[in-house]
Amino acid sequence: MKVKNIESILTIDRLIFILMVLFVFDQLLPIYRILVWSRLIQLFTVTLLFLLIVKIINKRMLILIPITLMYALNLIYVGFFDASNFILYIYGILISFIPVLFFLNYRNNYRLKSKIMLIVNFTLITTIITTIIGLSIYPEASRVLATFSEKNDPTYVRYTSLNIGGFAFIYSLLPLIPLYFFLNSSKKKVINVLILFGIYIVTFMSQYTTAIVISMFVLLVILLTRVKTTKKVVICIFTVSVLLFMIIQYLNTFIYTFISSIDSPIIQERLFVLYDIIIGNNYNQIGRLNLWMQSITVFINHPILGGWTANIQTYSEHSFILDYLGKFGILGLSILIFYYTSIYVYFYKCKENKKQGYIFLSFFATILIGILNPVNSLLIMGFLVPTLIGIGEKNVYENSLGF
């Protein structure tokens, strides 16, 4: 009997499929991260990734440069000030390459993308359902999960073992909203609508006020934008922002009554804070605004290379983009611009897509999340968004990336 060699077993297609499945589980199944054998799985994942890179090195992998640069600076910072998480951070960097490599090499492989999206949808629906059930029992669980630095804490383990989505999971759902609206024209409309409802239910149940505000803003723009072009969406974003500002400014009593009627004390408090920011009340007493100002102040004082060269470790920890600016100055800003521009050009810019506005709105939501919270959302930007777009229109990316 002839024994197959390793090359014939681990073909590129099989490697990328296995890696994508492992990546989706790692990102969308909280319980996956506390499995007894999770460290072995992580080692197995990294080993397969290196095998894949060796097999498919080509010019398309240039997109890894801005991603690597963006993470490299943070890796230096982690090495200086947070050595205990150094290995895990490297693992996080490496697995972020998986969806990028997948999409660059299989962007027109509709059959493989469909298989992956079946797993994504199944995993996403599973975590949405378990999160809804979990938050029904432990209403504060999702917010509590965001506060743990020690992953062996019994409370963290209990909530995660119930597969309750935490901070990163909730915020990673938001940029998907425009894309699942976009996919309503596809054959799987019922599944897409169910996922949309699920996203909004878990967002509200999680009590992350910023996530709720962003999700409602995105929904409002979608409903008001009839022509789905980037220009129309940009105009609508500006118009909705101005109208909301005017409403808040001139309907004080109504807004105050509305916020007061909300059952959740946490959401109520956060909305009052947001309300105070907009109307200018107690400007200097607002906690999150002061936290953001910490990073901005560090940038002003150390504009070229940022605060890390001066051994400064105090940042807002509430804004991925502002913290990056504070830590690494103009150097960091240049890398961020390079990073986001490259992601948009490689993954989002689809000249032939008549619904480009949806895609732009998803990208806008990702940037907004990066400004308002410490979430990078590379999962969304590097995989789910372009894959969802590709599933919606098979040939939307053909001849559009310029490779």
31 falls within a domain? yes
Q: How many CB atoms lie within 10 A of CB 120?
A: 23
291 falls within a domain? yes
Do the beta carbons of residue 361 and residue 170 sit within 8 Å? no
Do the beta carbons of residue 131 and residue 160 sit within 8 Å? no
Q: Could you say which residues of the chain have pLDDT below 50?
A: 1-5, 284-285, 395-403
| Total count of residues recorded for the chain | 403
| Exposed / middle / buried, residue 257 (Cβ in 10 Å: 0-12, 13-18, 19+) | exposed
**Chain CA centroid to CA 88, Å:** 18
Do the beta carbons of residue 334 and residue 151 sit within 8 Å? no
Structure tokens at 327: 């830590």
Domain that holds residue 73: 6-392
* DSSP H or E run through 375: none
Q: How far apart are CA 117 and CA 377, in angstroms?
A: 18
Instruction: Give start and end residues of each alpha helix (H) in 57-140.
Output: 64-81, 86-106, 110-137
The 3 state secondary structure assigned to 49-72 is: HHHHHHHHCCHHHHHHHHHHHHHH
Q: How far apart are CA 55 and CA 21, in angstroms?
A: 19
DSSP state of 169: H
Chain segment 307-351, per-residue pLDDT in tens: 877 777 667 677 888 888 888 889 888 888 888 887 777 766 665
Q: How far apart are CA 320 and CA 269, in angstroms?
A: 23
Q: How far apart are CA 110 and CA 387, in angstroms?
A: 9
Q: Domain tally for the chain?
A: 1
Beta-sheet strands, E only, within 119-259: none
Q: How far apart are CA 89 and CA 112, in angstroms?
A: 29
DSSP-derived 3-state class of residue 109: coil
Q: Amino acid identity, residue 21?
A: V
Structure tokens at 61: 């992998």
Do the beta carbons of residue 303 and residue 330 sit within 8 Å? yes
DSSP state of 395: T
235 falls within a domain? yes
399 falls within a domain? no
Q: Amino acid identity, residue 220?
A: L
CB neighbour list of residue 207: distance below 8 Å, 6 or more residues apart: 139, 140, 142, 143, 264, 266, 267
Backbone φ, ψ for residue 159 (5° rounding): -65, -40
400 falls within a domain? no
107 falls within a domain? yes
Structure tokens at 72: 């490299």
Q: 28, 23, 93: which is closest to 64 by C-alpha?
A: 93
In the prediction, which pLDDT does 78 show?
62
Structure tokens at 254: 């109504």
Backbone φ, ψ for residue 160 (5° rounding): -70, -35
401 falls within a domain? no
Chain segment 181-204, per-residue pLDDT in tens: 876 655 677 888 899 999 999 998
262 falls within a domain? yes
Distances (CA, A) of 184 to 181, 191, 358, 386, 389: 5, 9, 12, 16, 12
Do the beta carbons of residue 221 and residue 233 sit within 8 Å? yes
Which region, left, alpha or beta, applies to residue 377 given φ > 0 means left and ψ of -120 to 50 means alpha?
Answer: left
For the chain, the C-alpha Rg in angstroms (whole number) is 22
Chain segment 101-146, per-residue pLDDT in tens: 777 777 677 777 778 888 888 999 999 999 999 999 998 899 888 8
